[in-house]
């Protein structure tokens, strides 16, 4: 199982987008307190849309509580990581995978990163770029893990309108 861990997220729109990504990908979302916003803000709800019923969300009082409650392989996104996100062999792991992302302003505390330096990764980008948007990095990383695991549990075709919808569609249909 894939878990996305947001360490003290600050921007509600990012968290809302990440909620939607987690719901659509089957990942569990963990929020480490304190949050920089009220979770029921309308900006979060607008981003997550009608996916709240599909979202598995867990809140943790702090990093230590998270570590006591959850068990699995931890991986940390940081600009200081020496490995690209695609270097890790996620397919060979039989335990839960926790992808940890830091707050938008300061990232994951350096003490945590240093303790886990071999599991720190970065997403390759232009040399002069300091960072990417948090919700984009979550999506990139979650889908790399899913790609390596052959998109286990995900649908490979349109379900709501049917797999033949586009083949049978005609221009006079307003769908």
Tokens 């607008």 sit at which residue?
46
Compute the average pLDDT of residues 11-34: 93
Task: Tell me whether the omega of the peptide bond preceding residue 34 falls within 30 degrees of 0, making it cis.
Answer: yes
* Residue ranges of the binding site: 77, 102, 123, 131
Cα 89 from Cα 148, distance rounded (Å): 8
E strand or H helix at 148: helix 134-148
Instruction: Pick out the residues of the known binding site for S-adenosyl-L-methionine.
Output: 77, 102, 123, 131
On average, the pLDDT of the chain sits at 90
Question: 2-168 belongs to which homologous superfamily?
Answer: SPOUT methyltransferase, trefoil knot domain (3.40.1280.10)
If you average pLDDT over each of 23-27, 153-157, 163-167, which comes out highest? 23-27
DSSP state of 149: T
pTM, 2 dp: 0.90
* Residue position matching structure tokens 């990581």: 81
**In the chain, where the domains are located:** 2-168
Percentage of the chain exceeding pLDDT 70: 92
Which residue did the predictor score with more confidence, 156 or 174? 156
* pLDDT the model gives residue 44: 62
Rounded to whole angstroms, the Cα distance separating 101 from 63 reads 12
Strand ranges across the sheet with 28-32:
56-60, 28-32, 2-7, 97-101, 73-77, 120-122, 83-84
Helix (H) or strand (E) holding 95: none
Element spanning 41, H or E: none
Q: What is the mean pLDDT of residues 142-171?
A: 88
């Amino acid at each position: 199982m894939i878990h996305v861990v947001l360490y003290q997220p600050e921007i509600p729109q990012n968290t809302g987008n990440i909620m939607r990504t987690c719901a659509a990908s089957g990942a569990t979302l963990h929020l480490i307190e304190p949050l920089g916003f009220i979770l029921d803000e309308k900006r979060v709800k607008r981003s997550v849309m009608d996916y709240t019923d599909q979202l598995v969300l867990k809140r943790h009082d702090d990093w230590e509580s998270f570590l006591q409650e959850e068990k699995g392989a931890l991986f940390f996104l940081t600009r200081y990581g020496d490995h690209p996100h695609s270097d890790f062999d996620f397919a060979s792991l039989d335990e839960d995978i926790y992808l940890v992302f830091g707050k938008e302003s300061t990232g994951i505390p350096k003490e945590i990163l240093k303790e886990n330096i071999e599991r720190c990764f970065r997403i390759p980008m232009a040399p002069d770029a300091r960072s990417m948007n948090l919700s984009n990095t979550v999506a990139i990383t979650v889908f790399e893990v899913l790609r390596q695991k052959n998109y286990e549990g995900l649908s490979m075709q349109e379900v709501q309108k049917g797999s033949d919808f586009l083949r049978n569609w005609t221009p006079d249909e307003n769908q």
